[in-house]
């Protein structure tokens, strides 16, 4: 039996109490314990960004985080962003620009894009490209994603 | 203990060894836990999570998350030093006004470090204690004469010692930190007038790539010559290394084409890298030679 630990945190604005295995990743907890499967498992090694979430406002790879480290923190996943009217412009921009193909990278990409725009509301294409360096997309070739984020930043906000 | 020296990926076996999880809020409490022995320290987890999952390292019976220890985060001025708390993240270093002003070469290295998500999680203390020969803050900090501060509580009261970072590493993943010590901060002397410092990282992608080689050069530039020279290389030896022969080839000499060519030749001879998936030893030596020369050219013209 592996050691369990009780944690309390805010998940998408709502208080949550969970008992987790101390060596479990935050990604496994979100998907398998809490049941929020919007956050994706791509590589499990911090390389692809499909598992990107917000932790106390900053984006992190949930596959590299210990679930126990959520204790006391403010967590936002793609499900939380989907319910946030402030992110409407960004979501619509992804649709309008065809920045989604298979969609596997999209939750992580949108989470990271929202972080880029929060830290730099006037981000230009170069800043956006640098900002999504940790997010891999096997389909779109990135151009449409960068265009979408750029239009959301100067248009919708 | 299971034998995990070869590719052991059975997570059940590895996690079974954790008997206690602690998330202390004060340094005193954290050092007390360390003093009891057999502790795995967790900061951002960006090295620890992949290493434990792959079975490259096994958990000790106590997993101690230091993320909530007060006072280990942030950058401040401390007399003639810049003091950087161990929990300061790479993202924080990159933007910190004191770092940008007094140690711009460190901010530059942090800008070439992984991705935004990893920089938001990864800490300076984690990068140093992971002790990878390719750790990207190590080379710039070594040429800045940084020292590490180690705290422990051997007999009820907290004691600290300081060690030059250049002497801290003993091998890949190995340092002079004793098991009961926590790295609390890094101290960087404030630069003297005329101080110049440069960092160069070579990887096949600009970021998100482990350095194939990295180079740090620092010194005081006066009348076209460099003095107090520090040259350090990453990813060419089991630890990041100072290059004393290259330093000696440059010290006090006018930084002309001849001196620069001689120093670059010395640098190539001085390193003995290995072949690995990222590059051959030969290629690494050529990179060291060519990039040392280019960096010195830039310093000479600046
Ligand atoms: C995809 C990816 C890309 C990466 N790219 C880079 C890169 O470009 N450059 C680079 O240098 N690194 C890179 N890394 C490695 C890693 O992100 C850094 O080394 C990071 O700084 C580690 O910090 P952490 O807080 O996450 O450490 P952790 O994983 O929490 O800890 C690392 C080690 O240090 C020990 N430790 C942590 N803090 C302390 C302390 N205060 N006192 C004593 N021991 C301590 C831990 O026990 C552990 O052994 C990358 C990693 C990944 C997964
Ligand atoms: S699954 Fe986390 S970065 Fe790929
Ligand atoms: S849309 Fe398929 S991976 Fe990005």
Residues A101 and A65 in one domain: no
Residues A48 and A95 in one domain: no
In the structure encoding, which two tokens stand for residue A108, read together?
């992580």
Q: In angstroms, rounded to a whole number, what is the distance separating the alpha carbons of residues A84 and A67?
A: 24
The domain total for chain A is 2
- pLDDT number for residue B159: 97
Identify whether the C-beta of residue B142 lies closer than 8 Å to the C-beta of residue B165.
Answer: yes
Sequence-separated (6 or more) residues with CB below 8 Å from residue B106: B93, B99, B137, B140, B141, B144, B188
**Residue-level length of chain A:** 157
- Helix H or strand E encompassing B109: helix B104-111
Residues A90 and A149 in one domain: yes
Classified as helix, coil or strand, B142 is helix
Residues A67 and A99 in one domain: no
Out of A41, A56, A77, pick the residue that ends a domain: A77
DSSP A155: I
CB < 8 Å to A61, chain B: 46, 117-118, 121
In the structure encoding, which two tokens stand for residue A104, read together?
């596997």
Beta carbons of A1 and B52 less than 8 Å apart: no
Beta carbons of A65 and B49 less than 8 Å apart: yes
At B200, phi and psi to the nearest 5? -135, 130
Question: Residue B109 Cα, ligand 1 centroid: separation in angstroms?
Answer: 15
Residues A91 and A149 in one domain: yes
For residue A61, the cross-strand partners are A52
The model's pLDDT over B83-125, given as tens digits with 9 standing for 90+, comes to 999 999 999 999 999 999 999 999 999 999 999 999 999 999 9
Minimal Cβ distance to A68: which of B21, B117, B208: B21
Interface predicted TM-score of the whole assembly (ipTM), two decimals = 0.96
CB pairs under 8 A between A and B: 96
- pLDDT number for residue B210: 78
Beta carbons of A66 and B52 less than 8 Å apart: no
Out of A77, A111, A134, pick the residue that ends a domain: A77
Mean pLDDT of A50-72: 98
Per-residue confidence at B11, pLDDT binned at 50, 70, 90? very low
Rg over alpha carbons for chain B, rounded to the nearest Å, is 20
Domains and CATH numbers, chain B: 5-65 (3.30.43), 75-189 (3.30.465.10), 195-301 (3.30.390.50)
Residues A51 and A73 in one domain: yes
Residues A68 and A88 in one domain: no
Residue A102 domain boundaries: 84-155
**What's the farthest any 2 CA atoms get from each other in chain B?**
63
Task: Give the CATH number for residue A126.
Answer: 1.10.150.120
Percentage of chain B modeled with pLDDT above 70: 93
């Amino acid at each position: 039996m592996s050691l369990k630990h009780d944690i309390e945190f805010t998940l998408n604005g709502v208080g949550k109490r969970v008992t987790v295995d101390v060596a479990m990743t935050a990604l496994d907890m979100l998907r398998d314990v809490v049941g929020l499967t919007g956050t994706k498992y791509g590589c499990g090694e911090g390389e692809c960004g499909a598992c990107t979430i917000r932790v106390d406002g900053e984006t992190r790879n949930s596959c590299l985080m210990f679930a126990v480290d959520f204790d006391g923190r403010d967590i936002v996943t793609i499900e939380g962003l989907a319910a946030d009217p402030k992110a409407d412009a960004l979501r619509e921009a992804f649709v309008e620009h065809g920045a989604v193909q298979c969609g596997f990278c999209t939750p992580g990409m949108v989470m990271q894009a929202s972080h880029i725009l929060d830290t730099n509301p006037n981000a230009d294409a170069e800043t956006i490209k640098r900002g999504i360096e940790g997010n891999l997309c096997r389909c779109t070739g990135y151009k449409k994603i960068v265009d979408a984020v750029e239009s959301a930043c100067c248009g919708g906000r | 203990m299971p034998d995990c020296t070869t590719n052991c990926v059975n997570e059940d076996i590895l996690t079974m060894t954790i008997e206690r999880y602690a998330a202390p809020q004060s340094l005193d409490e954290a050092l007390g836990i360390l003093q009891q022995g057999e502790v795995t320290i967790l900061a951002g987890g960006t090295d620890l999570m992949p290493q434990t999952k792959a079975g490259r390292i096994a958990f000790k019976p106590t997993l101690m998350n230091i993320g909530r220890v007060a006072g280990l985060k942030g950058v401040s001025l401390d007399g003639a030093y810049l003091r950087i708390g161990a929990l300061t993240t790479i993202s924080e270093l990159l933007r910190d006004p004191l770092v940008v002003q007094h140690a711009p070469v460190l901010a530059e290295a942090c800008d070439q470090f992984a991705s935004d998500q990893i920089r938001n999680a990864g800490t300076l203390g984690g990068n140093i204690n992971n002790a990878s020969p390719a750790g990207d803050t190590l080379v710039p900090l070594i040429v800045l004469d940084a020292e590490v501060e180690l705290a422990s509580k051997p007999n009820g009261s907290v004691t600290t010692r300081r060690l030059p970072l250049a002497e801290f590493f003993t091998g890949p993943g190995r340092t002079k930190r004793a098991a009961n010590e926590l790295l609390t901060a890094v101290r960087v002397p404030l630069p003297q007038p005329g101080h110049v410092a440069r960092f160069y990282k070579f990887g096949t992608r600009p970021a998100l790539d482990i350095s194939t080689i990295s180079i740090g050069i620092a010194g005081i530039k006066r009348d076209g010559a460099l003095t107090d020279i520090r040259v350090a290389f990453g990813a060419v030896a089991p630890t990041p290394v100072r290059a004393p022969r290259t330093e000696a080839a440059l010290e006090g000499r006018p930084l002309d084409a001849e001196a620069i060519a001689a120093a670059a030749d010395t640098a190539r001879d001085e390193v003995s890298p290995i072949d690995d998936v990222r590059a051959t030893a030969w290629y690494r030596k050529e990179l060291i030679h060519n990039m040392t020369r280019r960096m010195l050219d830039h310093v000479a013209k600046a």
